[in-house]
Chains A and B, each alone.
Chain A
Amino acid sequence: MSADGICFHCGEPVLTGDRYLVTIGHDDRPVCCPGCKAVAEFIRDSGLEHYYDFRTETALRPEQAEPEAVRPEWLAFDRPAVMEQLTAASGDGNREALLLVEGVRCAACSWLIERSLGRLPGVIEIQVNPATARARLLWDPAASPLSRLLDGLARLGYRPHPVSAGAQTSMAQRERRQAMKRLAVAGLGMMQVLTYAVSLYAGAFQGMDADIQAFLRLISLVVATPVVLYSGFPFFQGAWRDLRAGRPGMDVPVALAIGGAYLASLVNGFRGVGEVYFDSVTMFVFLLSLGRFAEMTARHRAGEMSDALARLAPATALRLDDDGHEPRSVGVGELAPGDRLLVRTGDPFPADGRLESAIGLVDESMLTGESKPVRRQVGEPVIGGSLNVGDPVEMRVERTGAETVLSHVARLLQRAQAARPGLARSADVVARWFVVGVLVIAAGVAVAWALHDPARAFEVTLSVLVVTCPCALSLATPTALTAATTRLARAGLLVTRPDALEKLARADRVLFDKTGTLTRGRISVTGVEPLADVGRERCLAIAAALERRSEHPIARAFADIPAPPAADARVSPGFGIEGRVDGRRFRIGRPDFAAGLAPGGAVDERGPVDSSDDAAVALGDEHGLIARFRLSDPLREGSRDAVTRLAGLGMGAEIVSGDEATAVAEAAAATGIATSRHRQTPEDKLHRIRDLQQHGHRVVAVGDGVNDAPVLAGADVSVAMASGAPLAQTSADMMLMGESLAPLADGLKLARRTRVVIRQNLAWALFYNLIALPLAAAGWVAPWMAAIGMSASSVLVVLNSVRLARAELGPGQAPARIESGMSAREASR
């Protein structure tokens, strides 16, 4: 497809020729649909066409623009109960809302949103963070209702999801701010104390007035006190927690060294004789805090992923009250068991409950992995968050809020993400034994020196404690993982679980799903075969007119084709659509259904009807079939390269697909994958994974995340395409953010290097401690030397890890996918 055939705004193929054009600058640019045209013109007319210069990703396709009025789905956000729940008052009568914004892909998006929304009346401030896709909106409810602003955002093509202010985000933010303050106090304090320390050392050699010396020691004490008490507080807290739990961790010797050195210096400082160790103490606290900060940042990033779940649950519902007939839009928080709700076509079910309508067609793919819509009878349960893909239905609410299935799943996910990576856990176990050893040795050294030379006993013991601090040991893993994660995020592979890199490094088999993974997952019309005396264009137009009335995925293939209006349209789920176009009746859908309008019934004289072929769609009128459409799902660009590179890295590739044989065979041939299985149910796929695992293979499963969540869960490492369903994204170990599979090979390569780097780090940390410990025990290392040695060892480990963040990755390097939103910060560490 040439570049001309790509929509200027959203990057999807243009099937309508020059029907929709937008003049940007001096050029006419083709766009794919009226929605994109409206948005592009709005952006131009607002003087914001810079957006197109600066963006690094194409935009999402906007919803079809409608006339001015605010669409009813947003109106519920103006109800006081919803406002109270989702937004917070912020003085002067203004309110603040936190929005998760779908479709924010790069900094240009956030700029566009800030500029265009900032012009709406009532908006006081809007800030969009492209790294987290989160917007903070401050507005005046008196000047403009929230619904209007949300609607404005949705019209731009960015669908907002208000999340309740407070909760997890602000917790992470508070923690981060707190840590930054502690780090600043420690850093600035350390620098000050070091200048005094240098003066004192110089004075010790060249002579210094006793008054000035005492003064400098006093000032050092003054500066070191907040460093130890404020910045060092988390270490004391951690040590206390460890001791109470009876499991001495890293914090115990750290707290002992900091506390001991500080107290001894305090006593010596006031007595005016003996050594002070304020320099060593502050340096120690600062360097340790820096390591903790790095680890915390990595942890928060993982937490952000689970927020994507919030997008699944709708915020509003249409309630049918017993008195009136008009459904009323209410917030989900207002629902109670027993309420009757109306769920329109294409909307998610707002809560768990039972169906009241005779029949309903439900897409539960994000929860069950079943890709085909499920048919539900009256009285059967429906799950909140699943999609109504059939006709509008009524339901009765049974469970809301925290009771729903979706909330349970979300909690499970959160728990999984709260867990520390296995590697870090094993490092902790090692560190624990190490710590016990250090404490025993330090005690032994103290006793030995107390007998041998009581005057130096304290100093030597302190040196032993500081020099053997297992910082390098405990930094070895998290820093390497953070650096690698950062590097991969820039390459377009987001690691959502730290364990995943380690497992990926060991993997030797990769299973691909076909639809949406190797292929783009976007069905389009690739051929029209007229069967009667009707032109191709006309067939397409009639088909498009009928398909406009359907929500079926196949209908999307026709969405860009201009169509006359259709009347009396009726959807027969699973079969097709019947309707009247320009006065004549037509049917589109399964060939046997489409042929059903003709008097002879389903008989098709032009050949047998192959109803098992999902990709066949036929159009018929009262005289029989008039056209057959070939629909297919084009292969992702670069799929073949990615598979070749993976094979070069020793990964055996297989396709397991639910699709029919020919489509799978075509995809296999096009990508160069030798082994493929077709017509696989999720159970079959899972079984195949188990089978491989029993033969000692470690399996990476790559899916679009929509219909294979359980398959992904069964694999050693699961990779989902970010364009899939949000829930599957969060349950997958890794996500491919762009449209290409190439980052997967990068990921494998880097995961293996990461494993090497972690081993180097651990080896170095142990080696350093083995060398330093005897020297310190022998009394050859002063405490300040110990602090420098300890930190040099840690710095070496960190620098070694940072190499991963700078790593050059494989051939055909993908362009930066996520604009360094979460990268530069950590890469520079």
Chain B
Amino acid sequence: MTIIYVLIPLGLVLLAIAIWAFFWAVGNGQFDDLETPAWRILMDDDRRPPPPSETETRDTDGE
């Protein structure tokens, strides 16, 4: 059973990583809006807009 002396601390390390990741995500605003992203996937841009628009100087569509 001595293996648990390794495995449990290892589990704690994973726990610490999980909490760190969650903190990072919260701080990054990932949980601020839980509604819009769910819709965004439904409304994916399949079609490109017609090209000859003069405002289309740069590609800002890369989400």
Contact = CB atoms under 8 A, between A and B. Distances in A.
Interface of A: 45-48, 50, 54, 107-108, 110-111, 115, 118-121, 123-124, 127-131, 173, 176-177, 180-181, 184-185, 188-189, 192, 209, 212, 215-216, 219, 222-223, 819-821, 824-825
B15 A54 contact: no
16 contacts: A45-B49, A110-B39, A111-B40, A111-B43, A118-B61, A119-B53, A129-B32, A129-B33, A173-B32, A177-B26, A184-B19, A188-B18, A192-B12, A215-B8, A219-B9, A821-B35
Contact of A110 (B12, B18, B36): B36
A130 B4 contact: no
Nearest to A111: B43
B48 A181 contact: no
A138 to B, nearest CB: 11
A50 B43 contact: yes
B49 A181 contact: no
B35 A219 contact: no
B29 to A, nearest CB: 8
Given A120-B55, A123-B60, A108 B43 contact: yes
A490 to B, nearest CB: 12
Contact of A181 (B23, B33, B36): B23
Contact of B26 (A118, A130, A180): A180
A820 B31 contact: no
Interface in B5-53: 5, 8-9, 11-12, 15, 18-19, 22-23, 26-27, 31-36, 39-40, 42-43, 45, 47-50, 53
Contacts of A177: 26-27, 31-32
B55 A119 contact: yes
B31 A130 contact: no
B15 A46 contact: no
B31 to A, nearest CB: 6
B12 A219 contact: yes
Interface of B: prevailing SS: loop
Contact of B31 (A118, A180, A824): A180
Size class of the contact patch on chain B = 35 or more
B56 to A, nearest CB: 6
Contact of B55 (A121, A131, A176, A219): A121
Contacts of A223: 12, 15
Contacts of A111: 39-40, 43
Nearest to B5: A215
B35 A131 contact: yes
Contact of B45 (A47, A123, A128, A215): A47
Contacts of A120: 55
Contact of B4 (A123, A124, A212): A212
Contacts of B27: 177
A47 B12 contact: no
Contact of B36 (A107, A115, A119, A184): A107
Given A47-B47, A180-B26, A209 B42 contact: no
Nearest to A47: B49
Contacts of A46: 49, 53
A380 B22 CA distance: 59
B58 to A, nearest CB: 6
Contacts of B53: 45-46, 119
A209 B2 CA distance: 11
B15 A47 contact: no
A54 B42 contact: yes
B54 to A, nearest CB: 10
Contacts of B33: 127, 129, 131
A212 B8 CA distance: 11
